[in-house]
Structure 1
Amino acid sequence: MQERSPLHEKKTDVRVVRFLLDHGADVNRRQDDLCTPLHQVVRNRELEVARVLLEHKANVDSQDIEGKTPFQLMIEDGDQDGDQDGDQDIDHVDDGILDLGQLLVNHGADVNIRDEDYNTPLHQAMATDTLWYADRAEILLKLGADPNAENDAGETPLHQLFKDRDNFEVNPENYCDFEDSIICNVELSLERGAEVDTPCSDKWTLLHKAAFRGWPSVVAALLDCGANVNAKTKEGETPLHMVSQGLYNPRDHPPIDHDIARLLVERGADVNAQDEDKNTPLHSAALGGRLEIVQVLLDHGASAVVENGRGESSLHLVSKKEYPRYKDGGAGIAQLLLERGVDVNALDEHQNTPLHSAAFRGVLEIVKVLLDHGAIVDAENDEGKTPFNLVLRGDFGDYDRVGIARLLLKRGADVNARKKNNTTPLYSAIFNSATFYGWVEIAQMLINRGAIADAKNDKGETPLNLVSRGRYYPEDGVGFARLLLERGVDVNAQSKSKITPLHSAAFRGKLEIARVLLDYDAIADAENDEGETPLHLVSRGDYRYEEGGVGIARLLLERGVDVNAQNKSKTTPLHSAALKGRLKIVQVLLDYGAIAGAENNEGKTPLNLVLRKRLHSKQRWSPKVGFGIVQLLLARGVDVNSQDKYHNTPLHSAAFNHRRSIVHLLLDHGANPCAENEQGETLLHEVSRIKDDTRGIGIARLLLGRGVDVHAQDKDDNTALHSAAFNGRLGLAQVLLDHAANPTAENDQGETPLHYCHEENLTMVSALHDYWWSTVWTSTEGRGTCGLRYI
C-alpha cells in the first residue's frame, strides 16, 4: 500500500507545498487510488496550491483508478461547493472554478477529454438535472469546450439536456429556474457555435426534444435561434407531433402543452404534416387525449378528416383511450371532431368504426357521444364483429362493460349478431366469464332481450358447452348453466366432435355443473366421436383439484356408466386415469369393478401406460403417485409380465423411465428381468437409451445383480454398451465395463461401442480405450485378435 504523502493532505498550506517540492517531494506521487497531489488539490478547489504543483511539472493528464484526470474531477465533484439543490443563482459563474479550470487548460488540460462512451465533460454536465451542473456547463463553454463534439451515439452536448429524463417530472417550485438553466446553456452554446438543428442518431433535433418535454421557454429560445420548426425525425415526426404526445404532466405546473403547440404553429409549423405512418399532429393529440392541443390545431386549419396509414381518422384514435393522464379529454375531443365534420361511421383498414374502438376499449362517455351523433350500432368489421361483440372481448373493468352493453342494447344492438365463426354475443359473454368474473348479469340481460340460448358456433358448440368447461367460480358456472337450461337449451347437445356439455364438465372437473346437467337428464354414457364417455374424460381431464374429478367419477358410476367402456382405441377409463396419473380415480374405478389387466388396441394394460410416462413430460406427476397406482394394479392381480404388441413388458417401461423404486416393486412381484421386446432389447438396453448420465445407474446394477446378460444383443447385434456409448452415458458405460461388457463387440455393421462415441465425448473414448488396453490387449487371447483400427 502506498503511504499518503503530505502533498495529498486536504487544505495544504501553499508554503508547505512549495517547501516540500523544493526539497525533492514527488509532485506526481500516486496513492492506492492512483490519485496524484494535483487530483487532490483540484478536488479541494485549492487554486494557488494547484498553481505551485503545475509550476513544478505536475502531470495535468494523469488519470486516477477510474480513468479521470484532474480537470474531470474539477467538473464532477460538486460536494465541495456546497449547495446542489438548485437554490444558487445560475447567472453567477463561480470565478474560483473558472480560474482553476483556466489554469489547467493553460497547462495543457484537454477541455474536450473523452470518456469510454466518447462523452466530453460538457456532455456530462448537460446530462444532469441539477442546477449546479448547469453552472458547470457554462464554465466549460467559457473555457472553450466544443459545443458540437459528438459522442459515440452521434449526440452533441446540447442533446444531453433532454436525454435520460423519461421519469423526470417538473417540480413547480424550481421549474422556472430549471428551464432558465436550460435556456442559458442553449444560448451560450449557440453563441459558441453550436448547431441548433444538429440531429442525433434518431434524427431528433433540440426542438423535437424541448417540445416533447414540454418546455415552452426553451422552445421559444430555440425558435429565436433559427431552429427548423418542421424538422422531421427518423419516423417523420415534426416538433408539433412531439408536443402532441409528450412526456409531461400539466397537473404539476400550469398547462403549457397548448402554449407550445400555438407557438409552433405561429412560427410556421405544418399542422397537417404526416409522419411515416401518415399520422398528423391531430392524430397524435387525439390519441393522447390532449383536448387543448386538438383545439389549437383545429383552429389553425388542421384537417379533421385526414386518415393515417391504417385508414384511421382522429376520431378512431381518441376512441382507443390511450391517455391515462387525461381521463376527461376523450369525450370532449370526440365532440370537437364530430362538430368539424368527421364521419362518425368512418372505416379503418379493418372496417372498424370509431364505435368499435370505443366499445373495445370501454370508453363509455365516448360511446355515448358517438351514438348521439348517429353511429351505426351494428356495424360489422372485416371479421364480422359488431361493437357489441367487441365490448364483450375488451380489456377493461366490468363496470364500464356492463354500462356499455346496456347502452348498446338500449340503442338497438342485435343480441344475436354473429361473427365469422358464428359466435353470438351470448357465447362471447360466457366465454369471457372464464377470465372476467361476474358476467351472469350480462348473460341475463342478453337472454331477456331475446338472445338465442342454444345458438351454435362453427364448432357446433352451444353456450352450454362453453359454460361447462369455463374457468370461473363454481357459483357463476352453476348460475350460467341453470340460466341456459331454464331457457330450454338441449342438455345433450353435441358439437361437431360429438362432445356434450357433460363431456366438457367432466374434462374440466366441474362437479357442481356435472350434477346440474345430470339433474336435467344429461346422458351419462354419451360417446364423443372417439367413442369416449364422460367417464373417460374425467379420468384424463385437465383440472387442478382431484376432488372434483373423483366426485364426478362417482356420480357417473352411480348413474350406471360402464366402468370398462372402451373407446375406438379400446382404451378404458382405467387406462386413461393410469396414463394421466389420477391415483384417486384409479382407486374409484377399481372399486367399481374396472378390469386391471384390460388391453387397448396396442396390447397395453393400465400398468404399461402408467410406467411408460416419460419423466420429462409436461403431464408428469409425483413418483409417489405412479408408485401408488402400480401398487393398486398389482394388488388387483394384473399380469406383471404382460407384453404389448411390441413385446414390451411393464419392466421395460419402468427401466426406460428410470423408475428404480418401481423396478424393485415389479421384480419383487415376479417380473422377468431378462425379458426381451420384439427388437431383442433387454432392460439394460432400455436403461441406456436416455441421454441423462445421472439416472439409471442404480437400476443397471440392480438388473445385473438379477442375472441380466451384459452381453445380450438386440436384432441389430447392439449391446447395451453400444447404446450407452451412443448416448454419452459415461457412468453407465463404466458400470457395464465393470461387469465385463465387451468394448470390442461388433454389431451387424461391424461397429464397436467406440464407433458410437461422439467426437466431443473424449472421456468416453478414453474410458473404452483404457478398458480395452488393460483387459483385452494385455490378455493372451486379446493380442492380435482385436484390430487397432477400432481404438
Structure 2
Amino acid sequence: MASHENENEQGLTPLMIAARDENLETCIALLQQGADVRAETESGETILHFAALNKQHGHEIAWMLVDQYKLDLTKRDVEGNEAIIHGIRNGNFRFAEELFRLRQCEAINLFHLFISLNRSDVALLVHAWNPLLIREVDGSGRNALHLAAEFADLTVCLMLIGMGIDPASSCNFGTVLHRAPLNKNHGIEIIRYFVNLKLDLNEVSAESGFLPLHAAFAAGHLEIAHEMVKLGAVLDTKNWNNFLFFSIAANNYESAKFIHDLNGDLIMRMNLDGRTALHLAAEFADAEMMRWILSTGIGSQYFLDNWTCSILHHVAFNRRFGPQLVRLLSSIGVDLNSKDEGQNTPLKFALRAINLDVAQELLNHGANLNSENEYVNLLHLCIIENNLEGAKFLHSVDPELVQELSSGGMNSLHLAAAFADLKMCQWIFELNIDVKEKSDEDGKTVLHCAAFNFDHGASLVQFFVSKGVNVSEKNFASKTALHTALLEKNIGFATELLQAGAEFKAILDDQGVQELNKITSTGHSGCLIIDNTVAKVVPLCG
C-alpha cells in the first residue's frame, strides 16, 4: 500500500484514515454522519484494507464493517490482494484471524486458507508466525498437501513436501492423486509428479471407496482423465467401480460419452444390485442422457433389473428429471403398466416415492389407475402405507376411489384405522365415509380394525369415539374391540378403550380370560389388574 503522508492529496476519505489510525468509536461516528462505507481508492483499496494496518483496533473495526455493513472481505485491490493479506504482511494477525473467522470458509486455519488460494508467499508468512498450523488436518483428514493438490500448483506441493509433509499421506478421500484430478489448471503436472513418486493411480480409498479417476469424471476434467489413463489408470476395473455408471448417475453426459468411447463394453454391464446403465439413467439422469444410452444400441435384455423392474419403475425415483423421462420412454413404446415380480406398476412406485409429478405424467400418457389388485385399489394401498400425499393425489384424480370397498368389505376408514395414523383417518372422515359402518365380511367397526394397529391405534380411539363410535360394539362373532386388542396383545390400545368406557365384562368369557392369563404370565410391557367387574392397565415391575 502506498504511503499516506498527505491523505487529502492521496484521495483518502476520513473513514479510511480513521480505520487505519483511530478506534471503533471514531469509525462509528463517521458512519453515523454519512461516511461512505464502500468507498475505494484508485488502487481498489477498501476501508478494510486500511483497517488491516491498525494493529490495536483493526480487528474490531473489521468485525463491524463485515457484520453490520456487509462489506465484502474478499474484495481485492488492483494488485490482487485482499485486506487479510495486507494484515498479514503488516504483522496484524489479530486482524487476519478475525477476517478468517468472518470468512466462514472450508479451510480450518490461515495456513490452509492460503494454500487453497495458491498463495504460498502469504502461507510462508503465516507459517513463520505459527509453525504448528501446517500439522493440522481438517474434518476429512486433509492436510495442507491434499489442499495444494486440489487448489494450488506443483510448486506449492513441492514446498509442502520440503516442509515435512509425507507425499503419500492419506485423507478420507484418499491420497493427493484422489484430489489432484479436481484441479483443472494444475492437475496434470501434479499427477505426473506423484505418479513418478510411485503413488498408485488405481488405489481405492479405504474410506470413500473411490479411485482417482472418479474425481476426474465427477469434475468433468476429461483432459486430466485422459492423461491419467495414459499414465496407467485402469478404466475397466472388473468390479463394482464402473466409471461409466458413476458418470451416468452423476448425469455427467460428457464424461459418460468419453468413457464409452474408450471402452464400449462398460455400458453392457450390470451393477451389484442388478441395475443396468438404463436403470441408473432412469433414476438420476435426464432425457439427453437416456437418449444417448438408447442410441448406443443397448439391447432390450437390459430393460429389466433382477426384480423385473422396468426402466419406468426406476424413473419413479427421479424427482428432477422424471416427467421428461416418462414422456421420452412413453414415446418409444415402453410399457407404462409393466409389473415387477411383486406385481407393482411404475405408478405404484411413483406413489410410494411420493413423486407425484411422475405419477401425473404416467397418468397423462396412459398409465392404468386400476391397480389390478383383487383386494384393494391404488388409493387403498396408499392408505395401507400411510401415504397421505399419495392418497390425496389419487382422490384428486378419481374421487370415486375412496368410496370403493376392499375385497373383505372394508371401507377406506376401516383400512386407515388398521394401518394409518390420525391425520389419514381425519382426512378420510372428512370425505363423508361412514365412521359407524361395519365391514361386510365380519362386521368389524373402525375400532376393531384399529386394534391391529400397533403404531397408531391407541391415538385413534379418542377420535373415533368423539365421532360416535361405540367402544362396546360387537362384530359378527359377538366380540368387542377390547377383545380383539387383548387377542392381539395391543395393550396400549386396550388401555385407551378402557379409559374411553369399554365394558370389561363383555370379554369375560373363556377365551378372554385365557388371553388375559397369557399376558400376565409372559411379562408383557403392561398387564391388566382384574377384579370381578373392572380392570385397569398398569406397568409391570421387576
SS where residue 367 of structure 1 aligns? helix
Give CA deviations for 1:23-59 in whole Å, capped at 9, x if unaligned: xxxxxxxxxxxxxxxxxxxxxxxxxxxxxxxxxxxxx
Pick one of 508, 530, 535 that aligns with 1:747: 530
Counterpart position of 2:34 = none
Larger RCO (CA under 8 A, 6+ residues apart): 2
Counterpart position of 2:20 = 86
Counterpart position of 1:409 = 260
What is the alpha-carbon distance in structure 2 between the residues aligned to residue 545 and residue 478 of structure 1? 19
Conserved 8 A contact 2:384-2:416 = no
Give CA deviations for 1:638-663 in whole Å, capped at 9, x if unaligned: 6699248x994889999972455765
What is the alpha-carbon distance in structure 1 between the residues aligned to residue 122 and residue 168 of structure 2? 23
Number of aligned residue pairs: 440
What is the alpha-carbon distance in structure 1 between the residues aligned to residue 76 and residue 149 of structure 2? 27
Conserved 8 A contact 1:417-1:425 = yes
Give CA deviations for 1:221-253 in whole Å, capped at 9, x if unaligned: xxxxxxxxxxxxxxxxxxxx9776225886xxx
- 1:319-334 mapped onto 2 (5 Å cutoff): 319=181, 321=182, 329-334=183-188
What is the alpha-carbon distance in structure 2 between the residues aligned to residue 538 and residue 374 of structure 1? 53
Counterpart position of 2:401 = 585
Say if 1:412 and 1:304 are closer, same or farther in 2 by CA, change over 3 A. Answer: farther
Say if 1:334 and 1:475 are closer, same or farther in 2 by CA, change over 3 A. Answer: same
What is the alpha-carbon distance in structure 2 between the residues aligned to residue 367 and residue 242 of structure 1? 31
How many Å apart are 1:498 and its aligned residue?
4.5
What is the alpha-carbon distance in structure 1 between the residues aligned to residue 458 and residue 93 of structure 2? 79
Say if 1:536 and 1:385 are closer, same or farther in 2 by CA, change over 3 A. Answer: farther
SS where residue 483 of structure 2 aligns? coil
What is the alpha-carbon distance in structure 2 between the residues aligned to residue 503 and residue 136 of structure 1? 63
How many Å apart are 1:440 and its aligned residue?
1.0
How many Å apart are 1:533 and its aligned residue?
7.7
**The structure with more helix, counted as a fraction of residues:** 2
Counterpart position of 1:253 = none
1:494 partner letter: D
Q: For structure 2, which runs of at least 5 residues remain unmatched after alignment?
A: 1-15, 24-50, 60-71, 102-107, 517-524
Matched, 1:285 2:148: yes
Counterpart position of 1:445 = 292
What is the alpha-carbon distance in structure 1 between the residues aligned to residue 211 and residue 310 of structure 2? 29
Counterpart position of 1:549 = 394
What is the alpha-carbon distance in structure 1 between the residues aligned to residue 322 and residue 110 of structure 2? 50
2:180 partner letter: V
Conserved 8 A contact 2:178-2:212 = yes
What is the alpha-carbon distance in structure 2 between the residues aligned to residue 331 and residue 466 of structure 1? 38
Counterpart position of 1:386 = 242
Matched, 1:359 2:163: no
Conserved 8 A contact 1:391-1:405 = yes
How many Å apart are 1:442 and its aligned residue?
0.5
Counterpart position of 1:335 = 189
SS where residue 245 of structure 1 aligns? helix
How many Å apart are 1:275 and its aligned residue?
7.4
Pick one of 402, 418, 425 that aligns with 2:277: 425
Conserved 8 A contact 1:257-1:293 = no
Say if 1:756 and 1:535 are closer, same or farther in 2 by CA, change over 3 A. Answer: closer
Counterpart position of 1:482 = 330
1:642 partner letter: G
1:465 partner letter: H
Say if 1:471 and 1:680 are closer, same or farther in 2 by CA, change over 3 A. Answer: closer
What is the alpha-carbon distance in structure 2 between the residues aligned to residue 183 and residue 631 of structure 1? 77
Give CA deviations for 1:44-77 in whole Å, capped at 9, x if unaligned: xxxxxxxxxxxxxxxxxxxxxxxxxxxxxxxxxx
Matched, 1:245 2:92: no
Counterpart position of 2:443 = 642
What is the alpha-carbon distance in structure 1 between the residues aligned to residue 378 and residue 507 of structure 2? 45
How many Å apart are 1:538 and its aligned residue?
6.4
Give CA deviations for 1:131-187 in whole Å, capped at 9, x if unaligned: 6662899xxxxxxxxxxxxxxxxxxxxxxxxxxxxx97587596677446636999x
Counterpart position of 1:466 = 314
SS where residue 312 of structure 1 aligns? coil
Q: Which moved more, 1:539-548 or 1:450-459?
A: 539-548
Say if 1:242 and 1:368 are closer, same or farther in 2 by CA, change over 3 A. Answer: farther
Give CA deviations for 1:480-536 in whole Å, capped at 9, x if unaligned: 4326636xx7964633x34454654575662542565669xx997378xxx878686
What is the alpha-carbon distance in structure 1 between the residues aligned to residue 388 and residue 484 of structure 2? 40
Q: For structure 1, which runs of at least 5 residues remain unmatched after alignment?
A: 1-81, 90-128, 138-166, 187-205, 214-240, 251-255, 322-328, 434-438, 555-582, 600-604, 719-726, 729-744, 760-791
Conserved 8 A contact 2:188-2:227 = yes
SS where residue 267 of structure 2 aligns? coil
Give CA deviations for 1:394-443 in whole Å, capped at 9, x if unaligned: 4xxx6xx222222222333521233222322221111114xxxxx11111
Counterpart position of 1:689 = 495
Give CA deviations for 1:274-312 in whole Å, capped at 9, x if unaligned: 97999775333113x112643653896999963526693
SS where residue 428 of structure 1 aligns? helix
Conserved 8 A contact 2:461-2:493 = yes
SS where residue 249 of structure 2 aligns? coil
Instruction: Tell which structure's C-alpha radius of gyration is larger.
Output: 1
2:434 partner letter: Q
Say if 1:393 and 1:331 are closer, same or farther in 2 by CA, change over 3 A. Answer: farther
- 1:754-765 mapped onto 2 (5 Å cutoff): 756=538
Counterpart position of 2:202 = 346
Pick one of 319, 340, 358 that aligns with 1:494: 340
2:179 partner letter: L
SS where residue 203 of structure 2 aligns? coil
State TM-score, norm by structure 2: 0.58
Say if 1:663 and 1:298 are closer, same or farther in 2 by CA, change over 3 A. Answer: closer
1:359 partner letter: F
Say if 1:275 and 1:518 are closer, same or farther in 2 by CA, change over 3 A. Answer: closer
Say if 1:490 and 1:335 are closer, same or farther in 2 by CA, change over 3 A. Answer: farther
How many Å apart are 1:444 and its aligned residue?
1.0
Conserved 8 A contact 2:217-2:225 = yes
Say if 1:623 and 1:280 are closer, same or farther in 2 by CA, change over 3 A. Answer: closer
How many Å apart are 1:447 and its aligned residue?
1.4
Counterpart position of 2:362 = 513
Counterpart position of 2:424 = 621
What is the alpha-carbon distance in structure 2 between the residues aligned to residue 752 and residue 421 of structure 1? 53
2:242 partner letter: T
2:287 partner letter: V
Matched, 1:657 2:460: yes
Say if 1:641 and 1:169 are closer, same or farther in 2 by CA, change over 3 A. Answer: same
What is the alpha-carbon distance in structure 2 between the residues aligned to residue 609 and residue 452 of structure 1? 43
Conserved 8 A contact 1:426-1:463 = yes
What is the alpha-carbon distance in structure 1 between the residues aligned to residue 173 and residue 19 of structure 2? 50
What is the alpha-carbon distance in structure 1 between the residues aligned to residue 169 and residue 426 of structure 2? 62
How many Å apart are 1:476 and its aligned residue?
1.3
Conserved 8 A contact 1:492-1:500 = yes
Say if 1:661 and 1:284 are closer, same or farther in 2 by CA, change over 3 A. Answer: closer
What is the alpha-carbon distance in structure 1 between the residues aligned to residue 395 and residue 317 of structure 2? 17
Say if 1:184 and 1:462 are closer, same or farther in 2 by CA, change over 3 A. Answer: closer
Pick one of 170, 175, 198 that aligns with 1:308: 170
Matched, 1:182 2:49: no
What is the alpha-carbon distance in structure 1 between the residues aligned to residue 152 and residue 146 of structure 2? 10
- 1:47-446 mapped onto 2 (5 Å cutoff): 85-87=19-21, 134=56, 178-179=87-88, 182=91, 245-246=112-113, 257-260=119-122, 281-287=144-150, 289-291=151-153, 293-294=155-156, 296-297=158-159, 306-308=168-170, 312-319=174-181, 321=182, 329-338=183-192, 341-342=195-196, 345-350=201-206, 352-364=210-222, 366-371=224-229, 373=231, 375-379=233-237, 384-394=240-250, 401-413=252-264, 414-433=266-285, 439-446=286-293
Say if 1:308 and 1:502 are closer, same or farther in 2 by CA, change over 3 A. Answer: closer
Say if 1:483 and 1:315 are closer, same or farther in 2 by CA, change over 3 A. Answer: farther
Conserved 8 A contact 2:149-2:176 = yes
Conserved 8 A contact 1:627-1:662 = no
Conserved 8 A contact 1:393-1:428 = yes
How many Å apart are 1:334 and its aligned residue?
2.7
